[in-house]
Amino acid sequence: MSDQNDAAEQRNTPEEIETAAQGVQDSPVEETVEGTSAPEEAAEVSEEDSAEVAEETATETPVPAATVAPQTAAPARDDITDIFLWANNTDGIKNELDVEIFLFNKNYTPYSTNFATELNAQIKPLFLYDIIGFVTMGAGTGLSVRDFELSDGEDNTLLRTDLEKVGRAETLIHLIENERHDIVEFSEEEHEFKRIKGIVARFTLKGEKEKTFYAIKGIQQTNVLKGATAWEFREGKFESFKAEVGIKLPSDNQVLIINKDIFVFNQSKFERLFNYDYKKQAIADARVAEIEQQYKLSFPEGLTLQDVVKERKKVVNKLQKLEVGEVTQEQAIEYADEMQVDLMTDDDGSIIIMDGNDLDTFVNLINEDYITSQITGKRYEIKSKKLLDDPEGEPPRGV
C-alpha cells in the first residue's frame, strides 16, 4: 500500500501539468522543441466532423510520473530550418520545381493523383507562392518564428514544431517518401472522396532531394460537389455535373513541412488536420507513465502503451481526469470478471492489451466505468459521472 500511496502523491493533476507547460512558455528560449509519433483515424475539417480531434509522444522507457510534465524546454535542434532563408532560396528556383499531388483520408492513408497540365498555372500560386510571399513580407514586418508548444497566441508569429512530435504528419510523410510502391491511385469508386481529409502538394527539384518540401491543406466536405447532386452552369443554361467529384480548394496557407520541421500558418486547421493538442497530450503522457509504473501490462511485440493511447482519442480524453492507482491490478481483474467484460491476462498475471478495444476496456475498469443497476440488474458502461457528496442525516432526506 505504501508504494501505491507514494505513486498517488507524485501524480500530476491536469492543473499542475498545464501550469508546468505554462511555466515553459514564460522561460527564455531560443528556438526549442520536443518529441512524438503515430498514424490513425481523424476528423474532417468540416462541421460534421469537427468534434473529432486528438495526438503524439513515444516513450521507450517508463520514467517517474513526476518527471513527465514538461518542466523545462528541450535543447534546440541545430538543424532547424531558417524559414526566411528557405523562402528567399525557393523564390529563386520556384519555376524549376516539380509538383505531385496526393490525397489522404481520415486514417492518413495517402493516394496518388494526376492533374491536367492546365492546372499548372493554379497549383503553384495556390500551394506555394502565397507562402513565399507571406514569409518574405513578414521578414520586413518583424514576423517571428516561435515553437508551437510554447506559443501563447502572439501576433505576427509563425509557429513551428518538430515533425516527429506530430505522429500523423510524420507517418503521412514517411509513407509518401518510403512506401511509394504501396500507394495506389485515388478512385472515387473504390475510396470515396467523402473520406478524404486533406491534400498534399509535394515539391521537388531534380537531383536535389534535400530540397523536397510539402504544402498541406485540409479539405472541407462542404466544398465538395458530387456529380449525382450537382449542376453546372454553361453557356447560359444549367446542365448536369459531368465530373465524378468537384472541389473548391481552400486559398489560405495552412501547413508547410520542410525536412524535420512543420510550419503552422493556421493553428486551428493544423490541429484539426493532424489531431494535435499539445497540452492534452502532455497530460495523457503523464498518465501513461503512471499506469506503466502501477500496472503489469503485456503488449504484442513492437507495440507499447504509448502507441495504443495515441490512436484512441476517447482514451486520451479520459486520461485527463483519471486517478491512477485507486483501482489495483487485482481489483481490475476481479471487476472485469464481475462485470463479465473481456479482459485477458497471461500466466504471470499481466493484463494483455492487443489493440485499442482492449485498452478501452482496461481504462474503463481502472476508472470504474462499468456498473450494474441495483434495480434492473442491467450492466452499463458509464460515459460520464459526477462524484456525490457524503449524505447528511438519516433517511428519509430532504423532508
- Cell numbers for 267: 493553428
Residues 62 and 207 in one domain: yes
Helix (H) or strand (E) holding 175: helix 167-178
Please, what is the Cα angle at 18 between 17 and 20, to 5 degrees?
A: 65
Domain assignment present for 141: yes
Residues 332 and 229 in one domain: no
Amino acid at 378: K
Are residues 45 and 197 in contact, defined by beta-carbon separation less than 8 angstroms? yes
- How far apart CA 103 and CA 111 sit, in angstroms, is 5
pLDDT value at position 175? Answer: 96
Decide: pTM greater than 0.75: no
Domain assignment present for 106: yes
Query: If DSSP codes are grouped into helix, strand and coil, which group holds residue 105?
Result: strand
Residues 369 and 251 in one domain: no
* Sign for the pseudo-dihedral over CA of 321, 322, 325, 331: positive
pLDDT value at position 253? Answer: 95
Q: How many domains in the chain?
A: 2
What is the β-pairing status of strands 224-226 and 245-247?
A: antiparallel
Residues 79 and 218 in one domain: yes
Residues 232 and 284 in one domain: no
Residues 267 and 291 in one domain: no
Residues 142 and 226 in one domain: yes
Sequential pLDDT tens for the chain (399 residues): 444 444 444 445 444 445 444 444 443 333 333 333 333 433 333 444 444 433 333 333 333 333 333 434 455 677 899 999 999 999 999 999 999 999 999 999 999 999 888 888 899 999 999 999 999 999 999 999 999 988 877 889 999 999 998 989 999 999 999 999 999 999 888 888 889 999 999 999 988 988 999 999 999 888 887 777 788 788 888 888 778 888 888 899 999 999 999 999 999 999 999 988 887 888 888 999 999 999 999 999 989 998 899 888 889 889 988 999 999 999 999 999 999 999 999 999 999 999 999 999 999 999 999 999 999 999 999 988 888 888 777 766 555
Last residue of a domain, one of 228, 253, 275: 275
Helix (H) or strand (E) holding 271: helix 267-274
Which class for 2: exposed (0-12), middle (13-18), buried (19 or more C-beta within 10 A)? exposed
The residue range of the domain holding 54 is 31-275
Residue with cell string 487485482: 330
Domain assignment present for 358: yes
- How far apart CA 322 and CA 283 sit, in angstroms, is 10
Q: Which residue intervals of 275-386 are DSSP H helices? A: 278-294, 305-310, 313-319, 329-339, 356-366
Residues 248 and 305 in one domain: no
How far out from the chain centre does Cα 131 lie?
A: 23
Are residues 166 and 262 in contact, defined by beta-carbon separation less than 8 angstroms? yes
Helix (H) or strand (E) holding 124: helix 120-124
Residues 254 and 369 in one domain: no
Q: Helices 14-26 and 278-294: crossing angle, nearest 10°?
A: 130
Structure letter (DSSP) for residue 227: T
Residues 84 and 164 in one domain: yes
pLDDT value at position 229? Answer: 75
Helix (H) or strand (E) holding 298: strand 297-298
Helix (H) or strand (E) holding 3: helix 2-9
Cα dihedral 123, 272, 33, 140, rounded to 10, equals 50
Domain assignment present for 16: no
pLDDT value at position 49? Answer: 43
Domain assignment present for 64: yes
Helix (H) or strand (E) holding 205: strand 196-205
Q: For the CA atoms of the chain, what is the radius of gyration? A: 25
Residues 115 and 128 in one domain: yes
pLDDT value at position 298? Answer: 95
Are residues 262 and 169 in contact, defined by beta-carbon separation less than 8 angstroms? yes
Residues 319 and 261 in one domain: no
